[in-house]
Amino acid sequence: MRSMMLTQQRTQVKTHQSDPANRARLRWRARRGLLENDLILTRFLDAHEEELSDEDVDALTRLLDLADNPLMDLLLGRTEPEGEVDQPHVHALLARLRQA
């Protein structure tokens, strides 16, 4: 019985929505050095954080790994994603961020 419970605990994966620590960490990472980025990201999270899927969170995490100026260029539509950020779910999230 105990081994079955341990197996179930190991197989449970905490998603963004089910783990308040993950949500707080994402919101903290969204705070940026450039005010423009900070405003866009925090307003987006204020409006949409509770409905973000794990795929959306992955896309946002990829964007947050960028430096401030390249991120601002993407958010404002000056450039399009390249390299590791050039993923369909990142493009979808960017479209939503640009509308916010």
pLDDT in tens, 34-57: 999 999 999 999 999 988 998 999
Q: Give every CB contact of residue 13 below 8 A, 6+ residues apart in sequence.
A: none
Q: Which of 22, 31, 73 minimizes the C-alpha distance to 52?
A: 22
The answer to whether the beta carbons of residues 16 and 22 sit under 8 Å apart is yes
The answer to whether the beta carbons of residues 41 and 30 sit under 8 Å apart is yes
Question: Can you tell me the distance from the alpha carbon of 22 to that of 75, in angstroms, rounded to the nearest whole number?
Answer: 23
* Mean pLDDT score across all residues of the chain: 85
The 8-class DSSP code of residue 51 comes to G
pTM > 0.85: no
What pLDDT is recorded for position 80? 96
